[in-house]
Amino acid sequence: MSLYKNHTLKVYNSLSGEKEVFTPLHEGAIGMYVCGPTVYSNVHLGNVRTFMSFDVIYRYLLHLGYKTRYVRNITDAGHLTDDGDVNNDRFVKQSRLEKLEPMEVVQKYTVDFHKVLDNFNFLPPTIEPTATGHILEQIELTEKLIKDGFAYVSQGSVYFDVLEYNKRGLNYGELNNRNVEELLANTRDLDGQNEKKNPQDFALWKNASPVHIMRWNSPWGEGFPGWHLECTAMSTKYLGEKFDIHGGGMDLKFPHHECEIAQGKACNGVAPVSYWMHTNMLTMNGLRMSKSTGNYILPMELINGENDFFEKAFHPNIVRFCFLQAHYRSVLDISNEAMIASEKGFSRLMDGIAILNDLTPSTTSTLDVKSWSKSCYDAMDDDFNTPILIAQLFEGIRFVNVLNDKRETISSEDLELLKQTLTTFTFDVLGIKDEKAMGNNSDKLDGVVNMLITMREEARANKNWALSDEIRDKLLALGIQLKDGKDGTSFSIQ
Ligand code: AMP
Ligand code: ZN
């Protein structure tokens, strides 16, 4: 299925600041690299937004029939809280705090990361490499940069020489549209500055002080790699010197991605990436979500309702649906009201999909299903515009409802297209988990929920309101809503 042959996909390229027609380097195949999490603590919901945007982009590329190699790394070493400040190694700091080995910290939060993504129905990347698994490659790149005069050794550390890079006509600052002086103005006075020739130089390799526990042998003594280099090492290894898409949150544009471009060009003589894609930030109640300010919520806290920001628990499908109602390049603000509104919209979508199979075809169609289906593709072809796609899906649901009310007719061919388009985009492209497609286990699930309903009735009879509420809320957190009616309690699965 090579759908892509009939599509003109446009992608906003942060490097040019324009939407460009997407042409992969090799026909039918795409290499995509996304900067993964730094696994020194739990991922917050802001991180999830960024990864979810790329999950949907990946899903759509697959749907179009592209053979996609999707590399998303795990940063498990070397990401300092301040670039260059060795006393602020995130893993070392956290391991002291939790009295764990740094690699135990890494393992704990990698497991958490995967669990969270699993809950939100993410597709796994095709390769998930770690920084610590690629120390050799990073050392090799650093040696090459020194040999070619792009880097220098200073007191056991190695720095990239930004002025030398520019002297050779390369253009540090091109991604951020800033010149070296402007970038300099934003560089804080950090540890290691006295080792550098110029303040804008960045670390490729850092010498480890005697107390630093994450350390590896290198030609320059024991140390650890700089953060920017790991992505160049892993993307080059798995995707080649030049590849199609590189993504991450927009906070990574500078310095991280600027440094990746410089490293790639200096090492291989080519710009490493055709299309740079950056997602905008998640805010909560109008403020950017970030661990450091305390304005953050862990994904599981939103799902289980144990938090101070939202009045109830929300199923992961609702969170996904809410996130995708904003375009990936727009700021997304979540609030109680936004989540409640998404929940309502989501139910409307699911209710419509649930009656698709009840519709019966006629000989002719009075609805233009073909151009509607095309509009769904047009939305995604236009820089992965999920909010417009969702608006189109609701138009599809309107079709379902008027057909169900027998106010319009549909041919069997169009009915098939309506079903295909609605379900493919909702489940395969947007990544909503099809809870109803649980196959043979649905009888067992019904049995378990009915058993819990009986236990809740017993709790209520005993005036144990705490237990009865707990049963209701925990089921809701799993997407199972109990409805109390005069004939007893029924349930629906969202
Ligand atoms: P980190 O683990 O800090 O390297 O972040 C992992 C990814 O999450 C990066 O691509 C960041 O740009 C992204 N990110 C961090 N905070 C937010 C936020 N508030 N909204 C969206 N993405 C974010
Ligand atoms: Zn990166």
CATH label of the domain that carries residue 326:
1.10.730
Check whether residue 323 and residue 459 sit in a common domain.
no
Check whether residue 270 and residue 378 sit in a common domain.
no
Q: Give the closest residue (by CA) to ligand 1 atom 11.
A: 249
Q: Give the closest residue (by CA) to ligand 1 atom 7.
A: 47
Query: Does the reported pTM lie above 0.85?
Result: yes
pLDDT, one tens digit per residue, over 58-105 is 999 999 999 999 999 999 987 665 544 555 678 888 888 888 888 999
Domain's final residue, options 382, 398, 429: 429
Is 256 part of any domain?
yes
Domain's final residue, options 239, 254, 279: 279
Q: What is the CATH number of the domain that holds 115?
A: 3.40.50.620
Check whether residue 349 and residue 377 sit in a common domain.
yes
Residue 81: per-residue pLDDT: 55
**Cα 264 to ligand 2 centre (Å):** 13
What residues does 157 pair with on adjacent strands? 154
Ligand 1 contacts CB of residue 38 (under 6 A): yes
Check whether residue 305 and residue 451 sit in a common domain.
no
| Lowest pLDDT segment from 278-292, 324-338, 443-457 | 443-457
Residue 398: per-residue pLDDT: 98
pLDDT, one tens digit per residue, over 266-314 is 999 999 999 999 999 999 989 999 877 888 899 999 999 999 889 999 9
Is 69 part of any domain?
yes
Residue range of the domain that includes 172: 3-138+164-179+228-279
**Is a pLDDT exceeding 70 seen at residue 172?**
yes
Length of the chain: 494
Is 209 part of any domain?
no
**Is a pLDDT exceeding 60 seen at residue 255?**
yes
Is 201 part of any domain?
no
Check whether residue 442 and residue 384 sit in a common domain.
no
Is 367 part of any domain?
yes
Check whether residue 410 and residue 475 sit in a common domain.
no
Check whether residue 400 and residue 375 sit in a common domain.
yes
Ligand 1 contacts CB of residue 289 (under 6 A): yes
Check whether residue 287 and residue 407 sit in a common domain.
yes
Of the candidates 126, 114, 11, 131, the residue with the CA atom closest to the CA atom of residue 70: 126
Specify the number of domains making up the chain.
Answer: 3
Ligand 1 contacts CB of residue 248 (under 6 A): yes
Q: How far apart are CA 71 and CA 126, in angstroms?
A: 6
**Is a pLDDT exceeding 80 seen at residue 440?**
no
Average pLDDT over residues 196-215: 91
Ligand 1 contacts CB of residue 288 (under 6 A): yes
Check whether residue 394 and residue 462 sit in a common domain.
no
Ligand 1 contacts CB of residue 333 (under 6 A): no
Check whether residue 480 and residue 356 sit in a common domain.
no
The number of the ligand nearest the C-alpha atom of 79 reads: 1
Ligand 1 contacts CB of residue 183 (under 6 A): no
Q: Are the C-beta atoms of residues 426 and 353 closer than 8 Å to each other?
A: yes
Check whether residue 464 and residue 377 sit in a common domain.
no
Ligand 1 contacts CB of residue 78 (under 6 A): no
Q: Are the C-beta atoms of residues 318 and 287 closer than 8 Å to each other?
A: no
**Cα 246 to ligand 1 centre (Å):** 15
Is 81 part of any domain?
yes
Domain's final residue, options 375, 401, 429: 429
Residue 189: per-residue pLDDT: 44
Is 223 part of any domain?
no
Is 200 part of any domain?
no
pLDDT, one tens digit per residue, over 380-409 is 999 999 999 999 999 999 999 999 999 999
Check whether residue 171 and residue 247 sit in a common domain.
yes
